[in-house]
Homo-oligomer: A and B are copies of this chain.
Amino acid sequence: MPKVETFDRNQVLLKATEIFQKKGYNGTSMQDLVDVTNLNRSSIYNSFGCKLGIFMEVLSFYKNDIDQSFEKELIKTYNTADAIKVIFEITLKSILEDDDKKGCLLVNCTSEMANQEPIVHSFVEKNQDKMIAMIEDIINKGQLQKIFNEKQTASQYALYLFTSLQGLRMTGILNKNEEELRNLVNNILYILY
């Protein structure tokens, strides 16, 4: 019976994520992927189909990674104010660790490919909707608890915060000044109280 997949799929996806995040989709060649994954060219095609195939798996992998880190930190939070802060804290940490200015893969591919590849378009659109819905839930709870004001609906605040997160990721590509970025986050959250 068949030989089974020997390589560590997660390890391969991690390496592929790094190179796609660094060079972008169009800037990354199959040769780049062969080099960084230490996988045979045939094995890549065998396991992922085509370049867009491995990219879509990378997108899911990257998104799951973010979801997990959110989940892990959010269950530790005692109130909704902390929950929102944690989301920005994770983003800030990710920015400060991003030494080679790669930026966020989801933001990058939204700007590079959303208008070119329908499958990427629907992926990032769905992902954005989920993210906004998650924030809206938190705001909703916070408003019920009178922690956040009700001048705007939870939905409106969610769009505002999601937009701020994307802005933060863009600004954070070139600006790694922690003090400035922390103050920026405080200013973003000011409207909620």
A contact set with B: CB distance below 8 Å: 22-24, 26-27, 100-103, 107-108, 110-112, 114-116, 121, 124-125, 128, 152, 156-157, 159-160, 162-168, 170-171, 173-175, 180, 183-184, 187-188, 190-191
Contact = CB atoms under 8 A, between A and B. Distances in A.
A157 B124 CA distance: 30
Main secondary structure of the interface of A (DSSP, over half): helix
A112 B116 CA distance: 15
Nearest to A98: B115
A167 B163 contact: yes
A22 B115 contact: yes
Contact of A162 (B102, B165, B171): B171
A163 B107 CA distance: 14
